[in-house]
Amino acid sequence: MSNPFLKQVFNKDKTFRPKRKFEPGTQRFELHKRAQASLNAGLDLRVAVQLPPGEDLNDWVAVHVVDFFNRVNLIYGTISDGCTKQSCPVMSGGPKYEYRWQDEQRYRKPTALSAPRYMDLLMDWIEMQINNEDIFPTNVGTPFPKNFLQAVRKILSRLFRVFVHVYIHHFDRIAQMGSEAHVNTCYKHFYYFVTEFSLMDPKELEPLKEMTSRMCH
């Protein structure tokens, strides 16, 4: 494994979470394979994210949310040793944006946390969402809940914050490892997907607006 990015990823056991798998033979597995094939074929990302004719939007979204979770988790894993309570005492995206954590258990009010603590809570929370059969049903024929896209919007807006923090505070590390192109591709894929299906409020995309306009337009 000569790629330093992959080496870094595979050395970071603590950032590895069990990947949510799609059962072979299921519709979602086939969609996952189709989405991967489009990416591997070098298809324009704007086209690759479009809903294939005749497919269910919720299925297509579910497959991508899980994929983005896995990819963003790995990206953060590569820089996590440089993201400490000391270097990043607040989860932020530059001086203008600070992200506070809120959940239904311990942090019922928005709470300022260090970036590594925020990331831990965020990844655990998303993992819980995507492994919850009531939100992401895996059985063929089990309908998605009525609030599925609403739940997805919250997951994606929180995942976006990881991109913001990594790009603004740790991009030198990404560049140093030669992973810039990989991270940029992941970000463009994410951006085209959320804009194709209006899954994020444009205001939430503001922190990376300048970079996005250079990269994606």
- Which residue ranges are tagged as binding site for Zn(2+)? 83, 88, 165, 170
Helix axes 180-196, 57-79, angle to 10 degrees: 150
Annotated binding site: 83, 88, 165, 170
Alpha carbon distance 115, 89 (integer Å): 6
Integer CA distances (angstroms), 176 to 140, 167, 198, in order = 44, 13, 34
Q: What's the DSSP call for residue 175?
A: H
Integer CA distances (angstroms), 167 to 76, 125, 160, 164, 207, in order = 10, 22, 11, 5, 10
Residue with tokens 């270097």: 87
Count of beta carbons in the 10 Å neighbourhood of residue 1: 9
Contact 212, 191 (CB under 8 A): yes
